[in-house]
Amino acid sequence: MDNQKFQSVHWSSEVPYRVWKQISNCTSKGRHITGLAFRNDWWYVSGEKPDGSGGYCWGNLPEKSCNAKVAIGAYEDYYDKHSYLVCHEHGGYSSSQLPLVLSDIMDEAETIHSIFLGANNDFFIRYDLSMNWSLSNHPYLYRELKSTKKGIVLSVAIFEDNSWVVFRHNSFTQSTGIPDTLGSLIQKHYEDQKNQVDTQKRRIASYQKAIVLLQ
């Protein structure tokens, strides 16, 4: 069995031209998108071949590295007041204008699982010790993140119209305002993931039954 991965990429017309162009270049050459972040004029895209080789990244951040977790936010509600965080693949990070509490978390954390930066110093981070967030004007999202009934939160996405999506291992929760097309694509991803898991379980059960019969 080969070690290649499969990926489906979709984007809307609102994606900035330079980001759209780089995504198109990657997909046309058979590369997978491994990282993506943009806000206004700032952007970052990373990609690699399906077998995991040939990793490279593009963008205009002052600091960037390939195979990094990257987030771009805004520390004030102005067009050019950007903040960014680049979590390097082999440890350490580069940043600008992070909230103090997030800087303290980054100094203590050993492994960053997911990171989101929004406007007005909003952030969400899941790391080896815990998860933490600061989200202004998002009471429903706050309650969703506090809920433990649906499992561990993997990541969060918040859009300019304040709509949001919370991703977990086997489910997701979306607010009002998420486009139907996007909601359907996310739903299909989770359905495909469940089908793959169920297929793998059936194969394992079949192998185990065959082994018992041979014995």
What is residue 77's predicted lDDT score, i.e. its pLDDT? 53
The answer for residues whose C-beta is within 8 angstroms of residue 79's C-beta and 6 or more apart is 40
67 — pLDDT class (breaks 50, 70, 90): confident
What are the residues facing 48 on neighbouring strands?
32
> What average pLDDT does the segment 158-176 reach?
93
Is the pLDDT at 4 greater than 50? The verdict is: no
> What average pLDDT does the segment 203-211 reach?
79
Q: What is the tens place of the pLDDT at every residue in 97-124? A: 898 999 999 999 989 999 999 888 899 9
Is the pLDDT at 2 greater than 90? The verdict is: no
Using the Cα atoms of residue 82, residue 87, residue 89 and residue 91 in order, give the sign of their dihedral.
positive
Closest by CA to 121, choosing from 168, 85, 150, 86, is 85
Q: Mean pLDDT for the chain?
A: 86
What is residue 171's predicted lDDT score, i.e. its pLDDT? 93
Note the pTM of the prediction, 2 decimals: 0.81
What is residue 13's predicted lDDT score, i.e. its pLDDT? 66
Sheet holding 153-158, edge to edge: 153-158, 164-168, 172-174
Hunting for tokens 């997911």 — which residue is that?
Answer: 114
- The whole-angstrom separation of Cα 213 and Cα 164 is 51
Hunting for tokens 């996310």 — which residue is that?
Answer: 186
Exposure string over 54-83, b if 16+ CB within 10 A, otherwise e: ebebbbebeebbbebbbbbbbbeeeeeebb
Is the pLDDT at 64 greater than 90? The verdict is: no
What is residue 215's predicted lDDT score, i.e. its pLDDT? 62
3 — pLDDT class (breaks 50, 70, 90): very low
Is the pLDDT at 44 greater than 80? The verdict is: yes
Helix, strand, coil percentages in the chain from 3-state DSSP, rounded to 5: 30, 30, 40
What are residue 26's phi and psi, to 5 degrees?
-65, -50
What is residue 126's predicted lDDT score, i.e. its pLDDT? 94
Q: What is the tens place of the pLDDT at every residue in 134-155? A: 988 889 999 999 988 889 999 9
Contact between residue 43 and residue 59 where contact means Cβ atoms under 8 Å apart:
yes
Contact between residue 69 and residue 87 where contact means Cβ atoms under 8 Å apart:
yes
Q: Could you give the C-alpha distances from 57 to 91, 112, 129, 136, in angstroms and in order? A: 17, 19, 29, 32
What is residue 186's predicted lDDT score, i.e. its pLDDT? 93
